[in-house]
């Protein structure tokens, strides 16, 4: 198994306001689902980016997951191909929005 995924954002940002949500985010989503071994972390990163893209989510959560994808080995060439492929299914404006963030993460002009 690769390095264990640990997340504290739920508790850090919502722990007092929404402790159940914080628990589900940190302990279930990241603690269990992200650490389940049937799918490697790089693939999970790609699935997550495409899922957020398909939902039209282009806020800080997508930025985080693009950074996470890069940190887990997704290359510039791969992310460009992934976004292009997904754009054909989820919509052109979503592709443009995700490319703007991806260029930022991969530090491209």
pLDDT along the chain (109 residues), means of 10: 80 94 95 95 97 96 97 97 98 97 88
Q: How many separate domains does the chain show? A: 2
Q: Is 90 in contact with 54 (CB distance < 8 Å)?
A: yes
Q: Is the pTM here over 0.85, yes or no?
A: yes
Asked whether residue 68 falls in the same domain as residue 33, the answer is no
Asked whether residue 8 falls in the same domain as residue 33, the answer is yes
Q: Is 18 in contact with 31 (CB distance < 8 Å)?
A: no
Asked whether residue 25 falls in the same domain as residue 74, the answer is no
Which residues have a Cβ under 8 Å from the Cβ of 27 and sit 6 or more positions away?
none
Give the pLDDT score at 22. 96
Asked whether residue 15 falls in the same domain as residue 47, the answer is no
Structural domain boundaries, residue 61: 41-105
Structure tokens at 84: 């292009």
């Amino acid at each position: 198994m690769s390095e264990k995924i640990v997340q504290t954002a739920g508790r850090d940002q919502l722990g007092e306001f929404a402790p159940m949500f914080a628990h589900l985010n940190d302990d279930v989503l990241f603690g269990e689902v992200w650490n389940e071994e049937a799918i490697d972390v790089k693939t999970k990163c790609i699935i997550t980016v495409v899922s957020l893209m398909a939902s039209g989510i282009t806020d800080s959560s997508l930025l985080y997951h693009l950074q996470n994808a890069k940190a887990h080995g997704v290359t510039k060439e791969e992310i460009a191909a992934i976004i292009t492929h997904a754009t054909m299914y989820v919509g052109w404006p979503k592709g443009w929005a995700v490319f703007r963030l991806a260029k930022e993460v991969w530090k491209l002009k």
